[in-house]
Amino acid sequence: MHQGFLNSNSHDCFITLKPIIKMKKTFLKALPLATLCVALVIASCNTKSNKAAEAGAQSVSLKYQTTIDGKAVKLYTLKNKQGASVSITNYGGRVVSLLVPDKNNKLTDVVLGYDSIGAYRKKGEPFFGALIGRYGNRIGKGKFTLDGAAYTLQLNDGVNTLHGGTDGFFSKVWEAKQVDSQKLELNYVSADGEAGYPGKLDVKVTYTLTDDNALQIDYLATTDKATVVNLTNHAYFNLNGAGDSTILDHELMIDANAYTPVDSTLIPTGKLQPVAGTAFDFNKAKTIGKQIEENDQQLKFGKGYDHNFVLTHHDGKTPVATVKSKVTGITLEVYTVEPGLQFYSGNFLTGADKDGKGLKSYPHRSAFCLETQHFPDAPNHANFASTVLKPGETYKTSTTYKFLK
């Protein structure tokens, strides 16, 4: 055992063992002193580490208390009976941290983010943890036609619109109500014409942290004029822990027999391509890095995986994706009622800015996203499931990220 480990914790062992020495000799024979000492030290370290993580989260909370566009911004923390917690800011409805226990019961932050609100407002910020709307993913050339009327959107991804445009929900201050210690409600009203979209859209998103370490996200929306809606969350995960250098060692399963291939600007061609025999077949779990460098035109277009998968089952009861880290033992299961799942392997992360949590950098492919959704550019593809919402209808969808160890 590492000498520094013994020296730094030996005093704790002797203090803790005083009452134990008084126990019957038969018990001490059954449980060797050295083994007991190590066990107690590990438990003590985990407790101290978890308390330190919680204390750090409290100090970070103060850096989120500000005003943006005349509206109050703060950080809300939900915590369950298992000690897991999630912190969410009402600026963009962003998941800032998500602490879940690993195989040693050590709380591990599994989402990328920043320690203060300012970094989320910098140019080129990659939507860390954000609620995405009015339309998640891309719309080709920022144009679509609905009921005979043509609409032009803000272009913020070359010639296309990405995640709602420059004026997307990720940059809005949402009205927040913490219902209880495990539930947060967020509301936002998107004006008719905002970012180019028709209709006033009234949106409600509810975050719930359940006692079985699942983060459930429920979405509701209504409109006063026909519009298109595709809401999702853009959390960046690393199950080795936020700030770890890679996710290529993560084992991934996606329950999909097809995906939607894209052109060079990452707009779907309209085809549904079978995954069998390609690098896109994740029906049987494999590491993300296993085939990511294959000579495949689709992988070249995305600089890795950045594609929508056509889900086989999406009843909200069967996992549509499962990811596992061998380092921490943490497994993520994704449940949804959405027909599509955007798997993004963090190809555009560079690590150039060392402004992540704890001043860490987030290098190339150091996180993955699993964004539940209707298909990208669906308003321009009649063969894709419709994303049209009309007056009198209610947009309703739900996604759950469940963590196991």
Q: Which CATH number fits domain 71-404: 3.40.50.720, 2.70.98.10, 2.60.120.10, 3.40.50.150?
A: 2.70.98.10
What is the average per-residue pLDDT within 345-356? 95
pLDDT, one tens digit per residue, over 359-373 is 999 999 999 999 999
271, pLDDT greater than 70: yes
Q: In residues, how long is the chain?
A: 405
Tell me the C-alpha to C-alpha distance, in Å, between residue 245 and each of 201, 238, 239. Answer: 39, 9, 11
The domains of the chain are located at 71-404
pLDDT, one tens digit per residue, over 137-177 is 999 999 999 999 999 999 999 999 999 999 999 999 999 99
157: which strand partners? 160
Whole-number Å distance between alpha carbons of 327 and 207? 28
Of 45-49, 190-194, 306-310, the range with the lowest mean pLDDT is 45-49
pLDDT, one tens digit per residue, over 34-56 is 444 444 444 555 555 555 555 54
pLDDT, one tens digit per residue, over 313-329 is 999 999 999 999 999 99
> Catalytic positions, please?
234, 371
Helix (H, G, I), strand (E, B) or coil at 164: coil
CB 189 within 8 A of CB 200: yes
Nearest CA to 52 out of 335, 264, 358 is that of 358
